[in-house]
Amino acid sequence: MTRITNITAIGLEHHLGIDNAYGMARGMTPVRNMTLIEIETDAGITGIGESWGPCPMVASSLDVVRPYFLGREIFDREQIVHYFYNQRYHLGIQNTITSTVGGINMALYDAMGKLYDLPLCKLLGGQGIDRVPAYASSGYFAANPAYQLGDQMLGFRDDHFPGVKIKIGHSPGNDVERVAMGREVLGPDILLMVDANGNYTVDEALESMRRIADYNIHFYEEPLPPTDFAGYTELRARAPMPIAAGEALYTAWDFKRLIDERCADIVQPDITLCGGLDETRAIWQMIRLANLRLSLHVWGGGVGLAAAVHFLAALSPSPHTDRIPHPVMLEYDRGTNALRSDLLVTPIACIDGHLTVPDGPGLGIEINRDMVEKYRVG
C-alpha cells in the first residue's frame, strides 16, 4: 500500500507592480498567487496540487488538516475528508480549509496516476477528447494606459478562440461602452461573455443586461454577490441572457443551493477553491441531473489549469451525443501571470483556442523548480 508520509505547502507570488495591476469591477490586484501542495509517499512518489487563497492562510489551514492525512493510504481520499469535515464542522467550509483540502485531493490524484502510470483523465472516467476548447478570459480593467480593453482584445480573434470574456461592472453605462468595443473587435461570430464579479444589485444587473442585450452575450457571469441566492433566482427569471455563477462557492453543499434554486444557467466551480476533483465531480453530477451547463472557472497557476483540462477531457457532454450546440469551454486566463506561463517545464499548449491534454501520468506536468524558488514566499 502507498501511504502519505508528508504534505507541504509552498506559497508562490508573482508581483506585477502597481503600474501593471489589473482586475475587475471590485478592484485591481498587483499580485498573482497560488499555493503548491506536495504530497510525499512511502513509495517514493510525489503528488502535486494547487490551492486557491492567500498563501499564509493556506499554510495555516494545512497545519490543521495535515494530521488527518498522514499515515493514510493515498486511496483513502473521501474517507479522510468526510471524517475531517464532520469532526471539525465548526470551522465551516467557506474558507481556505476547503481550498487546502482541494489541493491535497488534486495531489492525491496526481500520485495515483503516477503509481499506475495513467493520465488523470483516465482515473476520472476515461479520455473523451485530446483538446479542450477554451475561451480567452481577459478584457480586464487595468492601470497601465497601454493595456486597456482594445489592446487586450487584439489577437484573440486571430488565435481562433471560440469565445472571449471581458470585465464589466463599473456601471451600466460603462458596461455598454466596453461590450460595444469588444463586439466590434471580435466580430459577430466569436462568443462574447461578460463578468461583473458580483458588483451589482438585482435592479442594477437588470439595467446592465438590458443595455447590452443587443450585442449577443453568450453568458453574464456573477452579476450579483456569490451567496445572494434569492437575488439570483429573481434575476434569472427576468434576465434577457444566460447567467453564470459559482466561482466563489465552496463544496457541493454551496452548489446544491445554487442548483436547486435555479440561480444560474451555467455553473462555474473552481477545482482549486471548491474542494478538489472529487468535490467537483459531485458538483458536476448535480449539474447534469438538473440539466444545466458547466464551465470550469480557472484563475490561478499552471497546476490547477492542468487539472481542469484533465477534468473536462473526461467529461461526457450530457445531455448531448453527436451534436453539441455549445461544447463546454474552459476559462483560459490571458492576464500576465508567471505562475501559469512559467511554473511548468512544459506549459499547457494552446493551439487554435484549444488546450492540449497532457499525456503523462497523473497531471502529466513537471514543475520548474527554478521558478518555484524565484516566486516562493514565506
Chain centroid to Cα 368, Å, comes to 22
Distance (Å, whole) CA 120 – CA 112? 8
CA distances to 145, 155, 156, 274, 326 from 185, rounded to whole Å, are 18, 10, 9, 34, 22
Residue 179 C-alpha cell reads as 461590450
Non-local CB neighbours of 237 within 8 Å, separated by 6+ positions:
none
DSSP class of 3: B
Distance (Å, whole) CA 82 – CA 84? 5
Distance (Å, whole) CA 102 – CA 191? 31
Distance (Å, whole) CA 294 – CA 308? 12
* Tally of helices (H runs) and strands (E runs) in the chain: 14, 17
HSE of 44, CA atoms in CB hemisphere, 13 A:
0
Q: What are phi and psi of 237, to 5 degrees?
A: -70, -20
Rounded (10°) angle between helices 77-87 and 55-69: 110
Q: Are strands 217-221 and 191-195 parallel, antiparallel or unpaired?
A: parallel
Closest CA to 137 of 357, 353, 361: 353
DSSP class of 1: -
Distance (Å, whole) CA 92 – CA 96? 10
Active site residues: 297
H or E stretch at 266? strand 266-267
DSSP class of 119: B
